[in-house]
Structure 1
Amino acid sequence: MKKIALFPGSFDPFTKGHEDIVLRGLRFFDEIVIGIGTNSTKKRYFPLEVMKELIARTFSDYPNIKVISYDDLTAHTARMLGARFLLRGLRNTTDFEYENGISQVNRYVYEEIETVFLITSPQLAPISSSIIRDLHRYGQSVDDFLPYSLSELNQLNREV
């Protein structure tokens, strides 16, 4: 049976930390689906379709990594994809507390789902999407934290 993992998140933006979790996850899973979820409590900073394209470009050499967007419960999306695993990264104990509650609810909704946590690589632990958004908002270069260039993002923004 093919081991499919859904790596869900808002990915606003998708960081080198996220990339690291996906690439390390390939050691355990046959296929990883990066799912950009709609979070009704958050207004996106970077357009969803642009981010989806940038993530797809990042993994263009990996046919076993796919990128989707979804507007549903993560557990429902995982079931629809045939994914029996959710892949999540943990930077610290605060992340664990937050993710633990979500994993319990996902298990309630989809009994067959297992959440697999990978600890973030130490050099990437300080990176968060919210910090990157703040740096970018105030004119600071953030390309060191992203697996793509923001010039690509600006070009895609003009196309969308």
Structure 2
Amino acid sequence: MRFVAKALIVSLTLTAGVAANIAIAKDGVQDPTVKARMELMDTIGMNTKILGDMAGGKAAFDASAAEAAKAALVAAAADIPAKFEVEADDPVSEARPDIWMNTEGFIEDAKGLETAAGAIDVASVEGIQAGMGAIGGACKACHSDFRAKK
């Protein structure tokens, strides 16, 4: 299996898992700061899914929808450091305390997503396919270090 295909499968799997977990977790959230973070991650998951569905052939390529998803993904990724600036917790939060113990590493991972999202070429399906591995990799890197396993 080609690298691009493997990367696409990984990123689509991550996206589906993130979207499902966020949707379930937001129902019981109490802390408004944590809820805002979860909503931001929901935005990231939703827009990654739009691009992933196009890349995987689950949705028809739509240049304007791809551009809008890319723009939303870049903006949301850029907002991650600000949303996690204040240490807050909630019983349903999946954020690990490591975020605030290794802020530099967390911000570096967030910037990795912003860079990957900004670099994706959404002018064609092939461009989206080529860029999804980097987006999935950026999500995985951060989640491996800073997201609790629930």
Question: Shorter chain as normaliser: what TM range?
Answer: under 0.3
Q: TM-score, normalised by structure 1?
A: 0.25
TM-score (norm 2): 0.26
Question: Higher strand fraction: Structure 1 or Structure 2?
Answer: 1
- Higher helix fraction: Structure 1 or Structure 2? 2
